[in-house]
């Protein structure tokens, strides 16, 4: 339903002024404004409030130009708000996002300040949320979290504050859970090779090497039993293609690759004979 306002028009003798004839709120939440020159402007309540358009206000061509500019500004502003509604973003991510809209630098920084002023953009809170989520949901270690936050251009002090809020006990508990899970599913690797493999994976995941090594010391296995199982598996698999000395050579090669020593391999071969 249109809101009826005054229909008399004042042109100031130069034909560049007009009045609002009608105003209608659309389903999208925007407002459609019909002017006395039959021009229609679809804009936001932010613009209406800023220019006090709810009242019988004279609209000059200069003011109309400003209204269009502000409408364009809020077109982009609400795109960013929607982008932020998916998840928290860093200021750097918003700058990158705005590049596709070719926003002038002055407008870009104005928009960033407005988002910050409304609490929609806060690098300190973003860093804390990111660190917590990545540790608990993705099992990232502190080194990777720090590296990722640096890549997002987060201030160093915010990064340290975020990492400082992570409980050391939680980090070590998460690390133990990861190692235990990998340990429970190990069926082929020797203890030495398994530990080297896990160490590399967890260092890449952001856990300090010394911390990982310390936790790996709590895990040990019966290498001989593991070797026997792997020997039988390789013998059955490679026996389809090789025989005699060639088969032994191929089996030894596979077992060496899995970290078993020559002495242990020869012992299993002797037992099989």
Per-residue pLDDT, 202 = 96
- Residues 3, 262: Cα–Cα separation, whole Å: 91
Token pair for residue 270? 């002797």
Per-residue pLDDT, 5 = 35
Per-residue pLDDT, 262 = 79
- Residues 59, 43: Cα–Cα separation, whole Å: 15
CB atoms within 10 A of CB 67: 20
Per-residue pLDDT, 214 = 93
Per-residue pLDDT, 55 = 62
Per-residue pLDDT, 223 = 63
Q: Per residue of the chain (273 residues), what is the pLDDT tens digit?
A: 333 333 333 434 334 678 888 889 999 889 999 998 889 999 999 999 999 887 677 889 899 999 999 999 999 999 999 999 999 999 999 999 999 998 899 999 999 999 999 999 999 999 999 999 999 999 999 999 999 999 999 999 999 999 999 999 999 999 999 999 988 887 677 778 888 999 999 999 999 999 999 999 887 765 666 777 777 888 888 888 888 888 888 888 888 787 777 777 787 777 766
């Amino acid at each position: 339903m249109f809101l009826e306002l005054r229909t008399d028009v004042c042109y100031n003798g130069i034909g560049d002024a007009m009045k609002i004839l009608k105003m209608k709120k659309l389903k999208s939440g925007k407002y459609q404004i019909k002017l006395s020159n039959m021009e229609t402007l679809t804009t936001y309540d932010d613009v209406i409030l800023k220019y006090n358009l709810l009242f019988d206000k004279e609209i000059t061509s200069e003011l109309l130009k400003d209204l269009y500019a502000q409408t364009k500004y809020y077109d982009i502003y609400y795109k960013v708000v929607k982008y932020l509604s998916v998840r928290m973003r860093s200021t750097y991510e918003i700058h990158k996002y705005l590049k596709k809209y070719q926003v002038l630098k002055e407008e870009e920084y104005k928009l960033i300040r407005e988002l910050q002023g409304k609490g929609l953009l806060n690098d300190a809170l973003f860093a804390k949320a990111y660190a917590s989520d990545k540790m608990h949901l993705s099992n990232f270690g502190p080194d990777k979290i720090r590296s990722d936050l640096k890549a997002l251009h987060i201030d160093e002090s915010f990064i340290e504050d975020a990492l400082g809020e992570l409980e050391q006990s939680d980090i070590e508990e998460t690390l133990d859970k990861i190692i235990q899970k990998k340990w429970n599913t190990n069926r082929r690797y020797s203890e030495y090779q398994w530990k080297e493999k896990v160490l590399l994976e967890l260092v890449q995941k952001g856990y300090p090497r010394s911390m990982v090594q310390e936790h790996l010391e709590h895990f040990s296995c019966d290498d001989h039993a593991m070797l026997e199982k792997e020997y039988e598996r390789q013998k059955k698999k490679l026996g389809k293609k090789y025989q005699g000395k060639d088969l032994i050579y191929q089996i030894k090669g596979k077992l060496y690759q899995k970290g078993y020593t020559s002495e242990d391999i020869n012992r299993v071969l002797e037992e099989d004979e």
